[in-house]
Structure 1
């Protein structure tokens, strides 16, 4: 029997894409989500980070796993590390973690999970993507405010970010899950150019023909705005990340996508053009 790849968060932005790429390549995939929703060509399995009773069935017959941390949890290691210990006992030898370019190994939140991977698995990789292009075109708060108000609100100032398409993240994940032998372990994933949010607003305006502007907030204003819908401590973390961008923390471009997939990463303009064409064509 061929061992399977467990894709956690298989209904999410990167997980669904990873599951589809793997099944297209003929891999056996177990698509894990809280509602066990089927993903094309994959076996659906129920999985909940906060319900250890779902761990054993999800891990049955699995030798590698794609890890998407629980959304909005400021301490994901508390639930992820017990699962990873269990995964090791089930014979999982490879783990690929979705992290963040803003959080290094040993840092807070998912950084604590990345730090534990070398002692748990023979082969591992931590994907540390920059901010998703889908934040401007999907269901993120930015995308909603763009559609409803023509506004992007951040505390990033003139700080630049090499926004990355989730398709490119998934392609790197699929490579890390399937390549023979050892994989590069700390992979910062970016798009092809670093842009300010004002630059991004200009691209959105030009492609859609609808004016989009970047409204600058202070970190305190952003924190208070986010705290309307999020726990205060998590809102403060997110606001601080914007502050770090304003100081240049994300102003970098890496060659990870092209080096590992053999093709250049998609530009923000190309992403918006594709998303806009799809949206208009679907009306």
Structure 2
């Protein structure tokens, strides 16, 4: 008898990883939840995993058929650690890989773009999720959320640029489909929310929903880069993050796709609904 195969989720305690684990286990799939501390995750098998420690790689791949890949956070060259792992995964029998990337990073682009470019040559079944910016950036533990709570301020170098922000729940719903559907997507998927909003719009919506005044402070590329570096972000990565804001200002993220609705059968959550839900969660 063939043993039941397992889906490996890296970054299993993170924003999309935890939600992907929840979606997979709710659907009855066997899941191995990988994180640096092997933290318990309901319904899944916890396992210790560190991108930078190859000694943790073999055990997490044993019996795995499919993997959800969350790149190491803050690394300007994640391919250096991810590609050796992916070669090992293919040799171990992994058939399908779903990579979390970004709408701002094309195949062959900076950071995780090199992994995206390599993925089709490594696995017969694959998908690259390229979501726009997360709504959770304004309600979770991101620098924007902390400055909103502490100062009533959002700082960016986006100017009047607009982004179709997406809820991490919707990203995870697409990840579950990409991992489990009988037909693999075998493409990259641009994931957005239902409306493109400026950071001024974001501040206004938070103000309306919460009753607390929030404003958007506009910075230059250099001001944002230096502020991020002063806060402890490595210089090269601070420059990458600031350049992404500059791209938004130029209109690079001003688009809406139907991918979430098409793959999950339901429309993506609006930003207002996301903030209202976050408020309800804190009150219950």
* Interval of TM-score (by shorter of Structure 1 and Structure 2): over 0.9
Q: Give 1:131's aligned residue.
A: 133
| Aligned residue in 2 for 1:268 | 271
- For structure 1, the residue ranges without an aligned partner over 5 or more in a row are none
Instruction: Give the structure 1 partner of residue 177 of structure 2.
Output: 175
Match of 1:38 in 2: 40
**What's the counterpart of residue 27 of structure 1?**
29
1:157 alignment counterpart: 159
Q: Which secondary structure state, in structure 2, belongs to the residue aligned with residue 227 of structure 1?
A: helix
SS at match of 1:125: strand
Unaligned runs of 5+ in 2: none
**Counterpart among 234, 237, 255 of residue 237 in structure 2:** 234
* CA deviation vs aligned residue, 1:160-192 (integer Å, no higher than 9, x gap): 000000000000000000000231511000000
Question: What TM-score results when the alignment is normalised by the length of structure 2?
Answer: 0.98
Whole-Å separation in 1 of the counterparts to 2:253 and 2:16 = 20
**1:108 and 2:130 aligned:** no
Partner of residue 98 from structure 2, selected from 85, 96, 99: 96
Q: Secondary structure in 2 aligned to 1:127?
A: strand
In the alignment, does 2:262 pair up with 1:259?
yes
Partner of 1:86: 88
1:106-161 deviation per Cα after TM superposition (whole angstroms, max 9, x unaligned):
11110000000111000000000000000000000000000011000000000000
What residue in structure 2 maps to residue 142 of structure 1?
144
Between the aligned partners of 1:211 and 1:182, the Cα distance in structure 2 is 45
Higher mean displacement: 228-237 or 61-70: 228-237
| Match of residue 244 from structure 1 | 247
1:209 aligns with 2:211: yes
User: Paired residue for 1:4?
Assistant: 6
Number of equivalences: 281
In 1, distance between residues paired with 2:171 and 2:159?
A: 26
Distance 1:240 1:276 in 2: 32
| Matched position secondary structure for 1:188 | strand
Partner-residue secondary structure (3-state), 2:15: coil
Classify the secondary structure of the residue corresponding to 1:104: coil
- 1:72 corresponds to which residue? 74
**Counterpart-to-counterpart distance in 2, 1:31 and 1:208:** 35
Matches of 2:105 and 2:35, distance apart in 1: 25
Distance of 1:148 and 1:119 partners within structure 2:
46
Secondary structure of the structure 1 residue equivalent to 2:225: helix
Contact kept? 2:206, 2:275, Cα under 8 Å: yes
1:14 aligned counterpart, secondary structure: helix
